[in-house]
Chains A and B, each alone.
Chain A
Amino acid sequence: MKLIRYQAPNSAPWLAFDRWSNLRDELNLFFDMPFWSGFGRTGQLFTGWSPALDLYESGDHFVAIVELPGMRKDVIDISLHDGTLTISGERKRESNNNGETAERTERYVGTFRRSIALPTRVDPSKVTATYEDGILKVTLPKAEEAKPKQIQVS
């Protein structure tokens, strides 16, 4: 299991060109750059992209909120292994057969993966997830032994 560092979208190197160039110049620059330079914004070991993830903790559960706009529910894969939550999947490029002639995009396509180590144990059988408005929300109830306990003084 590798830990994949989240890459802030703003650090994409070619976005810096936006300031003074129009869309056509940008497109030309994009194509002038070597093929692999587009991967500069991703991790060194993983040639995909990583969505932004927020993690909340309350007394008896964790909630992970992941920004995954424009996905289909069935391509999102959620797994839990050794206390590490991994969300992965693939965003496919839309078909290009409809007379499309040119494209320029800042959107990530291809496989994505995001992992986060959870601070305490969770109960894998009780994990639930919802996907709405492009937001994936994973609720992970803590394992019994990790929940805070009140001890009565007898």
Chain B
Amino acid sequence: MNTLTRETRESDRGQAEQFTMAPAGVTEISDGYTLEIEMPGVKKDGLEISVENNELMIIGRRSLLTAEGTLIHRESRPENFRRMFELDPSIDANKISAKIDQGLVTLTLPKAEHVKPRKITVS
């Protein structure tokens, strides 16, 4: 599977904002990849997706999952979500699209049209 290649993770490096890893899944389809990332509690406004130096970064900020009353049992993590992926060179970064539905981020990463070899005529 020649896919998104190596993933970089910097969440342990003591940065100012702490993030937690969101579970992700990659599916290769005929003309690209589909990337799904679980970010429960994140709305469209809290989602930040960027591509820089061929690295795809997805940050999901959620409003605190609180309810009225005292917290008596906790399993959720308080941090915001972040995932980073290094993009495969075959992906056209300008055509990446994303949506979020019920806390599931779905990114579509189409492969670039292959540039045909050009003929150079000798004048």
Contact = CB atoms under 8 A, between A and B. Distances in A.
Interface of A: 6, 8-10, 18-19, 22-24, 27, 52-59, 61-63, 65, 67-71, 94, 98-108, 116, 119, 131-135, 137, 139
Interface centre among B26, B29, B102 (most CB of A within 10 A): B102
Given A23-B6, A105-B23, 12 more contacts: A22-B6, A53-B73, A55-B72, A56-B67, A56-B69, A57-B69, A65-B76, A67-B41, A70-B104, A99-B29, A105-B36, A116-B73
Nearest to B102: A134
21 contacts: A23-B4, A23-B6, A55-B72, A56-B70, A59-B69, A63-B69, A65-B65, A65-B76, A67-B76, A69-B39, A69-B102, A69-B104, A70-B102, A70-B103, A101-B28, A103-B25, A104-B25, A105-B26, A107-B38, A132-B102, A134-B102
A70 B74 CA distance: 21
Nearest to A136: B40
Contacts of A139: 67
Interface residues of B, number: 42
**Chain B at the A interface: mostly helix, strand, loop or mixed?**
loop
